[in-house]
Amino acid sequence: MHPITPRTATNPETSPQPQAAYWTDLGTLYKCPVEDFVDSEWGRAVAGCVQLLFTSPPFPLNEKKRYGNRVGKEYLDWLVQLAEPLGDLLTEDGSLVVELGNAWEPRKPVMSTLALKALLSLQEAGRFHLCQQFIVHNPARLPSPAQWVTVERIRVKDSYTHIWWLSRTTRPKADNSKVLSEYSAAMKKLLKRQSYNPGPRPSEHRIGEKSFLSDNGGAIPPNVIKLKPEIEPEPESMLEVSNTVSTDGYRAYCKDRGLRMHPARMAPEIPEFFIRFLTEPGDLVLDPFAGSNTTGAVAEDLGRQWIALEPEPEYIEGSRGRFGDRKLRPRRRSARA
Ligand SMILES: C[S@@+](CC[C@H](N)C(=O)[O-])C[C@H]1O[C@@H](n2cnc3c(N)ncnc32)[C@H](O)[C@@H]1O
């Protein structure tokens, strides 16, 4: 076991340490900004112990959102000063996986390059290698930016985000056999038939006699994660991406207590993919911008230790809904009558 942080709730009046908002046997959510955590006793206790930093930082938007995005150069400077301390939390073969959304210039039909600059700044300042780039495609995304896509119709809808997998070593811990996807119908047929036409292909690849005849339990997935749309009963959530049990619990929990759901929460299958791919049970996963704590809840389900950091009380309260009743301490407050 890693020296995971203490979980006793401390008194904010007397303790300068980040406050544990809730915890389970496997993890803790701290109510604090990441800057306070990395400088704290708890942060120092887990330096060199985190196998996966998985996160979606506040996006580099051009207009401020409710959770206080920085903009432009201010955003880059802020991210850069976090690169080194976050990298120091990782094990030698640990990974940093970061989602950076697309952004557009205000009032112009042109894209901002800030997300790309953010990636390059983070990579350089944190001394990371870029292990691989992933795309998360959400076909159910609303057509946006609306002015250019649906009003003037001079751009097409923006429906994906980038996920960047970084590491300080060129060979971080990873095992793609943990994230196999179901074989296609054609491949299943081929495995049954046990024969196909070997030889050269137009791509100049040469396919051997037996190259595709062994059943490895599934296909090696591509670096494109496609989210499945799911129609929700409530109009406001009609276009949300498909989700697992933990999101259903989250939605109901927020609704019962009159809490606003996190506006930029992630589909659980994204952290699930990377946690399975890059960690083993018992490893420590940390999300420094936890929001509704999708990462912590998925890590919990997969038997990984976890730490989540989030300063916004309303998001923290809602995130409790991602966990089953018996798991959380201190106990949650009950729903409004
Ligand atoms: C894009 S959201 C993360 C959403 C999350 N992945 C989820 O599924 O709910 C980014 C979060 O970072 C939080 N945040 C903003 N500044 C922060 C800081 N300095 N330290 C930690 N969290 C911060 C925001 O409150 C917001 O909830």
User: Among 19, 64, 67, which is best to mutate for testing ligand 1, by the most ligand atoms less than 8 A from CB?
Assistant: 67
Closest atom, ligand 1, to C-alpha of 262: 9
What are the backbone dihedrals phi and psi of residue 226, each rounded to the nearest 5 degrees, phi first?
-100, 125
CA distances from 127 to 58, 122, 124, 172, 186 (A): 21, 8, 5, 14, 43
Ligand 1 within 6 A of 69 CB?
Answer: no
Ligand 1 within 6 A of 42 CB?
Answer: no
Q: Residue-wise pLDDT tens for the chain (337 aa)?
A: 444 555 554 555 555 689 999 999 999 999 999 999 999 999 999 999 999 999 999 876 555 555 456 778 888 999 999 999 999 999 999 999 999 988 889 899 999 999 999 999 999 999 999 999 999 998 888 898 999 999 999 999 999 999 999 999 999 999 999 999 888 888 888 787 777 776 777 877 777 766 677 788 899 999 999 998 654 444 333 333 444 445 778 999 999 999 999 999 999 999 999 999 999 999 999 999 999 999 999 999 999 999 999 999 999 999 999 997 767 888 766 665 4
Spatial separation of the C-alpha atoms in residues 34 and 68, rounded to whole Å: 14
Ligand 1 within 6 A of 289 CB?
Answer: yes
What pTM, to 2 d.p., does this model score? 0.88
Bond from prior residue into 145 cis (ω within 30 degrees of 0): yes
Ligand 1 within 6 A of 304 CB?
Answer: no
Ligand 1 within 6 A of 310 CB?
Answer: yes
Ligand 1 within 6 A of 78 CB?
Answer: no
Count Cβ atoms below 10 Å from residue 282 Cβ, excluding itself. Answer: 12
Ligand 1 within 6 A of 264 CB?
Answer: yes
For ligand 1, the distance from its centroid to the CA atom of residue 22, given in whole angstroms, is 17
Nearest Cα residue to 112 out of 76, 143, 83: 76
Residue nearest to atom 25 of ligand 1 (CA): 67
Closest atom, ligand 1, to C-alpha of 294: 8
- Domain 19-139+160-177+246-327 superfamily per CATH: Vaccinia Virus protein VP39 (3.40.50.150)
For ligand 1, the distance from its centroid to the CA atom of residue 149, given in whole angstroms, is 28
Spatial separation of the C-alpha atoms in residues 81 and 122, rounded to whole Å: 9
Ligand 1 within 6 A of 266 CB?
Answer: yes
Domain positions in the chain are 19-139+160-177+246-327, 182-219
Closest atom, ligand 1, to C-alpha of 290: 5
